Copies of this chain bind each other. A is one copy, B any other.
Amino acid sequence: MNTPISPDTAIGIAAVERDTGLSKDTLRVWERRYGFPTPDRDANGERVYPPDQVEKLRLIRRLLDVGLRPSKVIPASTSDLAALLECHHRKAISPEQQERELTLMQYVRLHRSAELVTGLHQAVMKQGLQRFVAETIAPLNEAVGEAWMRGEIDVPEEHLYTEQVQNVLRSAISAHAAHGGSPRILLTTFPDEHHVLGLLMAEATLVPEGASCISLGTRTPLADIRSAAVNGRFDVVGLSFSIAYPLRQAVDDLLELRAALPASIEIWAGGQAVKGKERRLPGIRVINGLDDTLAALKEWRTAHAD
């Protein structure tokens, strides 16, 4: 592998794959089809990308995540792309959201992490765990996601935010520590879902109600979810899908899991990706928002009151 040491040096294809999240195959096929990027070649004939092209690739990647298509964005100039990105979140922001953001969002900075932690702790004390999740974390999550889209915060700040929220939520959940309640709920995500906050928010909502939650964290293979649910004699399997999860895959995976589980085990699916898709998910309880989590819990208890 080439790792040229000079600072302004161009970048090998493997490094570009890492930095942009675009697979080597994709990079090569774009070059073939759209004429971009146009890497130089090293002495060995291997692709070597100039840093500014990698930068443009990163921009493109963001725009793809937002829903634009390669053929539209790849031919555009770097400055056009920046403009596109700019106008894309303008529309998604409301005044009162901006208001709320200001409170904690200003602490989502590397050098203010201490204040963020303090702020989060105060909020959870004041509001209690459930309201904290619903009224503070959920909107803050969205605000951070949008600020990220807008390029106002970087990857490190987004990571830092996730870490700190995780710390607060996990501490709070541990403190509730109610074992033996019912229903027994198994929480996890499918293998391609990395985001853990949705899961923790669900757990933080359910645990105070006396449900017995066991979380496997993210990325559990489907077959293992099945075996864990059956062997652990769970009543419910809860899956979380972030906005970035492809709907089609979510539907397929969920239906496959539904087919693999006995009917006595319910499946609850929550998160932006599956919101409002109950029609395509027969046999699955779609959770539309955090309050709906409690509704689902109530329904289960009513149905199993014996």
Contact = CB atoms under 8 A, between A and B. Distances in A.
Given A19-B223, A255-B5, A260-B5, A232 B155 contact: no
Contacts of A191: 15, 18
Contacts of A110: 214, 228, 231-232
A215 B5 CA distance: 25
Main secondary structure on A side of the interface with B: helix
B255 A18 contact: no
A72 interface: no
A248 B12 CA distance: 15
Contacts of A82: none
B216 A160 contact: yes
Listed residue (A1, A190, A255, A260) with the most chain B CB atoms within 10 angstroms of its CB: A1
Contacts of A259: 5, 7
A221 B19 contact: yes
A222 B260 contact: no
Interface stretch (A84-92, A138-146, A172-180, A285-293): A172-180
Interface stretch (A73-81, A127-135, A163-171): A163-171
A217 interface: yes
A253 B12 CA distance: 12
Interface of A: 1, 3, 5, 7, 9, 15, 18-19, 110-111, 113-114, 117, 154-156, 159-160, 162-163, 166-168, 170-171, 173-174, 177, 179-180, 188, 190-192, 194, 214-217, 219-225, 227-228, 231-233, 248-249, 252-253, 255-256, 259-260
Closest 7 CB pairs of A and B: A156-B228, A159-B216, A155-B224, A110-B232, A114-B179, A171-B171, A3-B252
